[in-house]
Amino acid sequence: MAVKDKEVLMEADHVKVYFKGKTRKAPPVKAVDDVSFSIMKGETFGVVGESGCGKSTLGRTLIRLLDSTEGHIYLSGEDIAGMRGSQLKQMRKKAQIIFQDPSACLNPRRTVKQILMEPFEIHNMTGQMDVDARIMELLNLVGLDAYHLSRYPHELSGGQKQRIGIARALALEPELIICDEAVSALDVSVQAQVLNLLQELKEKLGLTYFFISHNLNVVYQVSDRVGVMYLGKMVEIADCDQLYEKRYHPYTEALLSAIPQVGEEHRTERIRLKGEVPSPSNPPSGCRFHTRCPKACEKCSQQMPELKEVEPGHFVACHLY
């Protein structure tokens, strides 16, 4: 699922992430189930889906915060799924993560300077470079200054805390950053500032983002391509503009119909999905969406649809196409 004439930075190849059930006899929770896609160098690949669809699990697996059960993950051509020890540590320099809740991911007992020092300490780099100068550079990159160095996280606003989270992710000059609901916990006005900052940093530093959000509106604003996930599966992947013009999967259609539009000509009728999202430990047979799909037919409950290219660069997993 690469894009023509663009370099692949990361490739997920039939990745599965299963967790043990609550009891020994309980079936495994299939959080991510046989997902394949590529992230191109310099792009923002957005991932949307309801809570519990597996998007955060997938993001964490891509940088080995979680181990995959099956499949391969290639970063710049190297399979990272089986990496251990120093190899894994080196890989972590290339791929970093920004978490959803900036309050929970910063150590409350450490100052901003100590927090930003951590990546250099972990990688034994404190003797090899002027870390103080690099920390100042990182603070400036995210719009903060020397005043913040001696502050503790509780003395900062939500937006400032997230800027520290971004600075820490940038410390080792990664190529890929997983943004895991990076603006969801912030006020709307601060969300816009942080999104603008992420965009500026992407252009300035040539970064690649894997941008996870439950909010399709936010994903649209920042992404070049979008992947739609439902119950552990990638059901549609397309260029952002392509998806806006024409979506094929009934689930994507329902998600998009929920975005408020300005102007009569853009307004579409809201599609309300019936029923709850099924449990990932006992997913429906065939197409996982068939229990809620308004267009389901008999085949849908029996046969799992494959992700197929329906037009150049546009992939859909649905028996209708």
Residues that bind ligand SF4 (CB under 6 A): 249-250, 287, 289-290, 293, 295-296, 300, 305, 318-320
Tokens for 51, please give them.
């809570």
Q: CB-wise, 148 or 247, nearer to ligand SF4?
A: 247
Taking the complex as a whole, how short is the minimal distance between the CB of residue 19 and ligand SF4, in angstroms? 25
Taking the complex as a whole, how short is the minimal distance between the CB of residue 283 and ligand SF4, in angstroms? 12
Taking the complex as a whole, how short is the minimal distance between the CB of residue 54 and ligand SF4, in angstroms? 17
* Residue 73 CB neighbour total at 10 angstroms: 22
Report phi then psi at 68, rounded to 5. Answer: -80, 150
Q: CB-wise, 54 or 250, nearer to ligand SF4?
A: 250
- Tracing tokens 């697996």 back to the chain, one arrives at 61
Q: CB-wise, 131 or 318, nearer to ligand SF4?
A: 318
Taking the complex as a whole, how short is the minimal distance between the CB of residue 107 and ligand SF4, in angstroms? 44
Report phi then psi at 188, rounded to 5. Answer: -60, -40
CA distance 130 to 119: 14
Alpha helices in the chain (DSSP H): 55-62, 85-94, 102-105, 112-122, 131-141, 158-170, 188-205, 216-222, 240-245, 250-257, 298-302
Q: What does R_g of the chain's alpha carbons equal in angstroms?
A: 21
Taking the complex as a whole, how short is the minimal distance between the CB of residue 310 and ligand SF4, in angstroms? 12
Taking the complex as a whole, how short is the minimal distance between the CB of residue 278 and ligand SF4, in angstroms? 12
Q: CB-wise, 45 or 289, nearer to ligand SF4?
A: 289
Q: CB-wise, 232 or 305, nearer to ligand SF4?
A: 305
Tokens for 96, please give them.
């970093």
Q: CB-wise, 179 or 307, nearer to ligand SF4?
A: 307
DSSP string across 34-95? EEEEEEETT-EEEEE--TTSSHHHHHHHHTTSS--SEEEEEETTEE-TT--HHHHHHHHHHE
